[in-house]
Structure 1
């Protein structure tokens, strides 16, 4: 097989379907022919996407093949195994201890070939066209290949002075570029000059030198890497008893539900104002944290979680505020495990990043909670990746952020997450109860679903290595039920009684039932939480209970129903004394009032059916209160033939002015707090998996038919030259293949005046919308913009007619 395109054509239909399934960008949108598929597979964007998903062992194999491709006449699997250190010598029979490492290299090669990042002629491994440019100029820390080297590299290195040898050792394992010493360091300058003079270093530019790849490989004993990365790191972590994990998980889950409930109750009484940018102000966050009795970091998480779940939103009023929604009522009526499962599933799926609240953005501005700019599309994937690492350990195993980061670094070395984000996700998972004592709880594992076994394979067969969507996204109903059941099993049995004491306190020895919790929430305040809850009854808390419409006898009866023994006499006195004083002074709401010095003008207005909508109440012979506002009162009374005038609070008449109507402009605030894509949206991808595979199975034969039609029109022309392709996509694929193989092509270029010109060139680089090539006949180098290329014709070096 001479080219990458021909290699793709030779793949079987199932192999092509597997390639398209593992690299979805190759099939979306559908390519027109196999040639266009090859062009897309070798584009920089597609290669970058594919490299993001490979683990460290696959990346090592790719770097080795790229590094050796320009050094060895043919690169084989055995060469790669020796280069990465899986086979310590050239003995074709490996030692028993090397079997595992060799198997890992073979698996990594198979993975790279399956992803079309490498292709195999049967005797030689080749990198996909464009892959060397994506990996960078120094694969595996090795410098460029140079033409002029000593005839005997070993003898030249053995004769290097000690100072020169020190320079070589410093550059051997990369980076291969070093700065030339200044004149103030004559010994170092002399050593570098000696290496340059003997061909062991090359000049990169006027101020830098570079170690040639061939020299570095000799210094490394032919290896491209110090040791093979065939095994995922397996940090030991800390093992806790499962009972401890479940107990801490249950306690955290209860506290989270309580905090979100308290936030809803707080904002339904006093909604939090919205900033112009759409977020929650620092003062409002501080006030909320103080009311919840938590720090601002935890308050930001609670606020963001409530916003992502749709429990609080910007109400969109003229003076906007964050207020609870109608959806929160159903949540408040559900039992504790179900409420927690809703919050945990929301956390899994939301694109919000609460941990950045309080930091500064690129403009130096403070990041606010509920700010629309806090959404990050990668956040759900990172949560899944972090928790999958914990799911792969024995139950009860807790890992630190550094341990998790080491595993993620191996799984996706080209896409390592920020350490702060990993630490924040672990911290948030502990707050939610997904983790207990730092280990994954049963409820957390239920949210991840059955796809998260206790010991997962180091190389997943599908999905990105940085983790896929959790079960909460793929099967929201099933994951929700499973997680709620797992938490319910971990929760302590609720208690329905309280030990009331004579000092006006009460102790609940465990988790209260919903009925007892509602009673204490109405009539007492919590003093401490832990294994038991201590509450205190005060005049203010009893007045709050009486405000709900209860009488003293009803409240005492409810307390007696849950008390261990009788209600203490001091508490009974407190309730009855508060009831005697409750309601002796009353406060109401009025939208406006009507007054007149002549009581006869107000007579009969209260009972007038035409004015019933105003809600008039007579407070005095000369004063009426109304539920309607002043404007509505003026209009209604004038319609009855009266002549009222508006007045200010000080009694002065308000002079009428012409009203100028204004329509609201487009708000500069971005509405909404942002949040998760929602379980229903995320679940669609799982249901479409089979349909997507079927589409790919139908696409491959269509590509073959289109390719056959495209190639059927190719005929020979005088001179033995085959007409080139005018398809830009296929032209790019041909150019990349020519770069990878060092072949020449016929390039038809349209000049600035529209005149076509045909030149025989050897492409050197295709990147950034430009092609750099060498014209051997004219001994010149040219750079051509891709949009000026009319056609590209490959040249067979074995055909003398070309």
Structure 2
């Protein structure tokens, strides 16, 4: 960046190299969309209130204080600002250089100046009042302040650090002046205070700076606050994160398989019903809060979507895994974790909103969980945590203090809209669930996620996730212990023939009649079930488990259901008598048509479900009278047409393309000037008017009237918006303001 003084921000930007302009567009991506026509248009866009506010949101407290100092002392050099900031000149130069790189300041012949809109956006800098009209000269001011009596000094001290405006009446209602009013009157007479009206006084800016000892802020913060933290071994942190990542993979895999076989319905208002969420939480043995977070994360990763039943007219809309879930299951553990962690990092869903709120019930996976501010809160907190050394565990209060230094404006809005401490607790809790942190410290793979390197995060996490096991230990009490995370064929088998009794590093699976019957319903025989279990067990098949499987198989399929609406045939007349008289099956309205046959007006699938609930173990008859196997049905939903909300910056390639567009625009603008400097190209005319509105430059314009005549006006543009130019007539600012239609401006020429 050249240090050559410029007459405007546009000139300052025009003198920058392509690399510097590309860096600006990457740091302020809103300036690149849509691409500015030329550098003049870039300068105009960079000084709009919206763009300036976005830029200020990303500044830390040190840069904001430097910006306020520049607003107070401009034009200024770093040495002047160092005194106001109570820091060294090198630090002041670094801060102002950053502001200039962000196009929030520019170098004029007299020194650094802030962009014009900054004063409107920032407002009163550092609580200072206006410049005084009768303030004594600096040497006399020091003497006057030293000679103040205690009452006068206390009055000024109350206004020193702001607000600069105070309520002090001239006299009491009975006409006598109070001691405070008398002191205020003396200070006004000395030029140390100014009377705003009969009830208020204001402390002039020069007096306040003198009282502050030349400092602008009571608590200068040129550097981030020191964060007290406990230090853990980074290897211990990574190991804890890897263990949590393994649990995350197990839980999300279980959701995919559970909803693949038993997908829940979509609520009419969207989302998942409370009953379905509670059922899934009980199945996973997790809290409803963590279950809602798991669903939102899996949905953000594209593993879950709504199956609207378009393939079957009788099928209601339901939540089901997508085909991407099958690909995800086949990936390596590190890649699977990175997909989930990156989706959570970029997702705008706030799972902590699920539940009963003041505005009503919020369901998981509904649109009501969308909260972009939560995503910003999450990313700000973890980026602040990433600035600490590896293995550092910061207290929530200390981390909150660091956040307030890094993003003071943003955190002030958060504090006004929510409990900041509770929000930080939520972020840290979810980061632990995601395996991004371990024992409260940011893990190595977590740092890669924060940096946006999903591939690197996957590679770092791969060796940390506990290796999956392919065997179990069968016990004589009809349980099996999996000494780790099950995967592959062993996981599929145990999910089919057993139910999870407890989860953790080692999961416990329970065998029962219902679980064994699931395999038999698929056409498995008792011998096959026992052979498959023996193949994955390191302890052999215990005798009680052998008895259970064979006993269930012996009674399985004795009763057979067909369509009548439904019929039930059974060679065991005693069993048929019991079914016919079972009160729990009264709704089936049995009618006996033969010693071994019952019929019902209820559809066969309902009959089958009720008989299975009552543990009769029926099987279905096919249309030819043969056995009809149930089949393991896996529901899959089409990927969502609208992807999850993402935020995209401007990368280097796009930034350089935009810079090329602006350079060509500048070339075209130069070619459109005639020998007198008159611009006639309509696009360049509009850009020149916008630049003049920003810089306060006077222009000669040609303006076409209603009958086609062109009149020449000397104007000073004030604003260009909505196809109109609002300008004051003449070279100087005045109250004679006129509005011109932009499309009627035929030419412009700088006033000399």
Could you tell me how far apart the structure 1 residues matched to 2:187 and 2:288 are? 60
Contact preservation (8 Å) 2:47, 2:116: yes
Corresponding position of 2:336: 339
Aligned length: 664
The answer to whether residue 54 in structure 2 is matched with residue 49 in structure 1 is yes
Instruction: Using the TM superposition, give the Cα deviation of residue 764 of structure 1 relative to its aligned residue in structure 2, in angstroms.
Output: 9.5
Instruction: Using the TM superposition, give the Cα deviation of residue 219 of structure 1 relative to its aligned residue in structure 2, in angstroms.
Output: 1.0
The answer to whether residue 638 in structure 2 is matched with residue 676 in structure 1 is no
Contact preservation (8 Å) 1:375, 1:675: no
Instruction: Using the TM superposition, give the Cα deviation of residue 301 of structure 1 relative to its aligned residue in structure 2, in angstroms.
Output: 0.7
> Mapping of 1:656-735 within 5 angstroms?
676=644, 689-690=652-653, 692-696=655-659, 698-712=660-674, 714=676, 727-735=685-693
Could you tell me how far apart the structure 1 residues matched to 2:103 and 2:220 are? 22
Corresponding position of 2:442: 440
Could you tell me how far apart the structure 2 residues matched to 1:523 and 1:320 are? 29
Could you tell me how far apart the structure 1 residues matched to 2:725 and 2:42 are? 20
Corresponding position of 1:144: 130
Contact preservation (8 Å) 2:719, 2:727: yes
> Mapping of 1:97-176 within 5 angstroms?
102-136=89-123, 138-150=124-136, 152-176=140-164
The structure 1 residue matched to 2:515, chosen from 534, 541, 544, is 541
Contact preservation (8 Å) 1:285, 1:299: yes
Q: Deviations over 1:120-152 (max 9, x none)?
A: 23542222222222221x112222223232453
Could you tell me how far apart the structure 2 residues matched to 1:728 and 1:786 are? 12
Corresponding position of 1:64: 69
Contact preservation (8 Å) 1:118, 1:128: yes
User: Any idea what SS the aligned residue of 2:320 has?
Assistant: strand
The structure 2 residue matched to 1:311, chosen from 285, 299, 303, is 303
Contact preservation (8 Å) 1:726, 1:792: no
Could you tell me how far apart the structure 2 residues matched to 1:751 and 1:149 are? 51
Could you tell me how far apart the structure 2 residues matched to 1:240 and 1:338 are? 26
Could you tell me how far apart the structure 2 residues matched to 1:772 and 1:497 are? 81
> Mapping of 1:601-680 within 5 angstroms?
676=644
* Cα 1:193/1:783, change in 2 over 3 Å: farther
Corresponding position of 2:85: 84
* Cα 1:170/1:297, change in 2 over 3 Å: farther
Could you tell me how far apart the structure 1 residues matched to 2:289 and 2:329 are? 24
- Uncovered stretches (5+) of structure 2, i.e. residues with no partner: 1-5, 310-314, 415-419, 568-592, 606-638
The answer to whether residue 243 in structure 2 is matched with residue 251 in structure 1 is yes
* Cα 1:3/1:254, change in 2 over 3 Å: closer
Could you tell me how far apart the structure 2 residues matched to 1:589 and 1:783 are? 87
Contact preservation (8 Å) 1:161, 1:191: no
User: Any idea what SS the aligned residue of 1:323 has?
Assistant: strand
- Uncovered stretches (5+) of structure 1, i.e. residues with no partner: 88-101, 453-469, 473-478, 594-618, 630-670, 717-724, 797-802
Could you tell me how far apart the structure 1 residues matched to 2:730 and 2:186 are? 35
Corresponding position of 1:281: 273
Contact preservation (8 Å) 1:307, 1:674: no
Instruction: Using the TM superposition, give the Cα deviation of residue 243 of structure 1 relative to its aligned residue in structure 2, in angstroms.
Output: 4.1
Contact preservation (8 Å) 1:33, 1:706: no
Instruction: Using the TM superposition, give the Cα deviation of residue 703 of structure 1 relative to its aligned residue in structure 2, in angstroms.
Output: 3.5
After TM superposition, the score normalised by the length of structure 2 is 0.75
User: Any idea what SS the aligned residue of 2:691 has?
Assistant: helix
Q: Deviations over 1:274-330 (max 9, x none)?
A: 233322334443343333332221121112122223333222247432233333333
After TM superposition, the score normalised by the length of structure 1 is 0.71
Corresponding position of 1:657: none
* Cα 1:759/1:217, change in 2 over 3 Å: farther
The answer to whether residue 527 in structure 2 is matched with residue 553 in structure 1 is yes
Instruction: Using the TM superposition, give the Cα deviation of residue 83 of structure 1 relative to its aligned residue in structure 2, in angstroms.
Output: 0.9
Contact preservation (8 Å) 1:527, 1:536: yes
Contact preservation (8 Å) 1:772, 1:781: no
Corresponding position of 1:329: 326
Could you tell me how far apart the structure 2 residues matched to 1:586 and 1:180 are? 96
Corresponding position of 1:349: 346
Deviates more, 1:217-226 or 1:227-236: 227-236
Corresponding position of 1:459: none
User: Any idea what SS the aligned residue of 1:144 has?
Assistant: coil
* Cα 1:510/1:685, change in 2 over 3 Å: same
Could you tell me how far apart the structure 2 residues matched to 1:203 and 1:765 are? 34
